Amino acid sequence: MAYSHFVAKQRNQAEDAPWQSEQALLRRIRSRAGTAGGGALRVGIGDDCAVLRPRPGEELAVTTDLSIAGRHFRIEWHSPESIGHRTLVRGLSDLAAMGARPLTAFLSLGLPRTLTLQGQRGSAAWMSRFFDGLLRLAKAHRVQLAGGDLAESPLAVADIVLVGAVPRGRALLRSGARPGDLLYLTGALGAAAAGFRRLARLKGNVPAKIHGALGAHLFPQPRVAQGEWLRRRGLATAAIDVSDGLSTDLAHVCEESGVAAEVEADALPIDREATLEQALHGGEDYELLFAAGPSARLPRFIAGVPVTRIGRVVKPKPGRPPVALITGHGSRSLRAHGWEHFA
Amino acid sequence: MAYSHFVAKQRNQAEDAPWQSEQALLRRIRSRAGTAGGGALRVGIGDDCAVLRPRPGEELAVTTDLSIAGRHFRIEWHSPESIGHRTLVRGLSDLAAMGARPLTAFLSLGLPRTLTLQGQRGSAAWMSRFFDGLLRLAKAHRVQLAGGDLAESPLAVADIVLVGAVPRGRALLRSGARPGDLLYLTGALGAAAAGFRRLARLKGNVPAKIHGALGAHLFPQPRVAQGEWLRRRGLATAAIDVSDGLSTDLAHVCEESGVAAEVEADALPIDREATLEQALHGGEDYELLFAAGPSARLPRFIAGVPVTRIGRVVKPKPGRPPVALITGHGSRSLRAHGWEHFA
């Protein structure tokens, strides 16, 4: 970990940036990093590595997600707060899919020089607002920013690493689904894709009051509490987060579990602003898709979020795509075809 | 963790890239990731997170380092093997500075499409050669690649995350140096900077047989065994890796320990191809700089690498730079001024 690297490098590049202000930058990040993490963090920002002390009987879940300007966000459309939030949500959602309790985050951030400068005339700097968005979500989920790296980069890139804790041998995996299991989904699908279309039409002129699909795209909520609930109850045989789209992520579960799946189109919880295509392939909804045995009794809501049964797990057929969509007109194969916003 | 993300995204972007070949890409990375890590890795590539099981009584050290084309490497000068090696060495060196035993690595890789394509006429693809360099070094240090993320990016970026293990409360920190301690350094300084100058003169036309400073720049060796030795013996009061240059990294130790330091110019082990300036500010040498009490008896070699006493820790003086360089002509303050290759 090397926020200190950044300090060294900036010093050489900018004769006009005094040592004092760079030290101040590092101090600001350190002071804002918080002190959550449930006491697991023994050494935080300021050394070569962070040191984590797991509780006895716990394993650690680790995930990393890379966000790149022009692919995962657009500087000219997304607010800095939204980009910070969206950077962190990708990692938190991976932890949710394992049923892990978030502990610490690490952020590697490459930014053009223009985005690291102090704001003019009292306006908050881009980087400060980025951390506002990231740290607000971190606080809501009791995650401590424990380190990372900073570098100047012609292209804005952010790689987020999340470390979570899970009782030994109890992580929810993609690989446990069995024929006969039923498939469930938290929340609704397609909102993030519909919200992105709206953002594109607005060309970034986002209204002050954000709601509906636009809100779901700009500030999606990871299903951390729902994942932990499923892990504690031991009901789910397999789980994944729907970050790449239902068709893609369900195919991953099928591949890792060695099964196939049938999805009932009429059962899908589709956001009111979204189309069926956006629900099937949209991605970035960060809902949890999970399988449970046929006798498992799932509540209608988990931690305030609705749960819907959307299909079933079946035996795979050789040479056939693993996921089928059942409609009023019969069955058709559902090709994995995740939505790619910026392609 | 989401190598699977990459599979999904590539599928949408390239009509000419069949599903089979993308699955093959993921399988190739998985199959090459190895099975080291000392049994700590319970779930590897293929799920939303990796799951690590620490040994009882051990803490985990976590570090992340971002490498960006044009700043940390040049596609047109550095071979793919060197870029892969240099990406990993940054994280391994951070673990070495804590005295941690490497367990697993996570790699987030953003690459232009041209670098992900299969090679023509049997030539190995760029990405395959990048993994050759990275995984060769990983194998040498028994590190398992446990996950990461892949994305198409107009600019090549690689963020490496290393997780290591260290006995509870025994990590070497930057913060333990005390006035009266002596300062030591492994190996020699300045070779990486001198080697980079040579690379620049060669404009990437690297001879088949690489040696000396050029080798030190292209394939630096992290001092993992030396860090573990120091941690086991309990001799070092503080440690850091010299990745940003002696002047910068010694200033970090002084700041975190609340001390000052004197370096004897005549005592510095300077690589035969390097200048004093390169030795003081060059960076990327990945040697260990550490402090030890005045009565500690250090050997002349640790795990085959020479150890040199280069100075001492003293009390800080208010308003004075923390590091002084002692020469035959007296003492001058040594401003933190790390070398920035691509600035």
Q: What is the CATH number of domain B3-167?
A: 3.30.1330.10
**Integer CA distances (angstroms), B6 to B11, B13, B274, in order:** 8, 11, 42
Which H or E run contains A21?
helix A19-32
Domain with CATH 3.90.650.10 in chain B: 182-333
Q: Residue for token digits 């969509």? A: A325
Q: Inter-chain contact B151–A68, Cβ cutoff 8 Å?
A: yes
Q: Inter-chain contact A149–B65, Cβ cutoff 8 Å?
A: yes
Residues of A whose CB is below 8 A from B154: 70, 155
Q: Inter-chain contact B2–A174, Cβ cutoff 8 Å?
A: no
Residues of B whose CB is below 8 A from A149: 64-66, 159
DSSP string, A242-272: -SS-HHHHHHHHHHHHT-EEEEEGGG--B-T
For B274, the 3-state DSSP assignment is coil
| Cβ atoms A10, A22 nearer than 8 A | yes
| Tokens standing for residue B120 | 């023509």
Q: How many CB pairs under 8 A join A and B?
A: 265
Residues of A whose CB is below 8 A from B45: none
Give me the residue from A46, A166, A244 closest to B5, CB to CB: A244
Give residues with Cβ within 8 angstroms of B109, minimum separation 6.
A66, B130, B148, B149, B150, B151, B157, B158, B159
As beta bridge partners, residue B129 has: none
Domain with CATH 3.30.1330.10 in chain A: 3-167
Q: Inter-chain contact B106–A47, Cβ cutoff 8 Å?
A: no
Residue of B nearest to A60 (CA): B52
Give me the residue from A12, A19, A343 closest to B338, CB to CB: A12
Residue of B nearest to A97 (CA): B48
Residues of A whose CB is below 8 A from B64: 1-2, 106-108, 147-149, 159, 161
Task: Look up the ipTM and state it.
Answer: 0.89
Give the residue among B255, B35, B294, B292 at the shortest CA–CA distance from B143: B35
Q: What is the mean pLDDT of each run of 10 residues along chain A (343 residues)?
A: 41 37 62 67 88 92 96 94 98 98 95 78 76 96 93 95 96 97 98 95 89 96 98 97 95 96 97 96 95 97 98 94 94 76 39
Q: What's the N-to-C CA distance of chain A in angstroms?
A: 32
Q: Inter-chain contact B68–A42, Cβ cutoff 8 Å?
A: no
Give me the residue from A95, A98, A148 closest to B64, CB to CB: A148
Q: Inter-chain contact A108–B64, Cβ cutoff 8 Å?
A: yes
Tell me what pLDDT residue A26 has: 63
Residue of A nearest to B93 (CA): A48
Give me the residue from B48, B98, B343 closest to A12, CB to CB: B343
Give me the residue from B13, B43, B110 closest to A157, CB to CB: B110
Tell me what pLDDT residue A13 has: 41
All residue ranges of chain B with pLDDT < 70 are 1-27, 34-38, 118-124, 338-343
Give the residue among A305, A303, A267 at the shortest CA–CA distance from A285: A305
Tell me what pLDDT residue B119 has: 63
A14–chain B nearest CA distance, Å: 10
Tell me what pLDDT residue B15 has: 33
Name the CA dihedral angle for B290, A40, B56, B30, rounded to a multiple of 10 degrees.
-90
Domain made up of B182-333: CATH architecture: Alpha-Beta Complex (3.90)
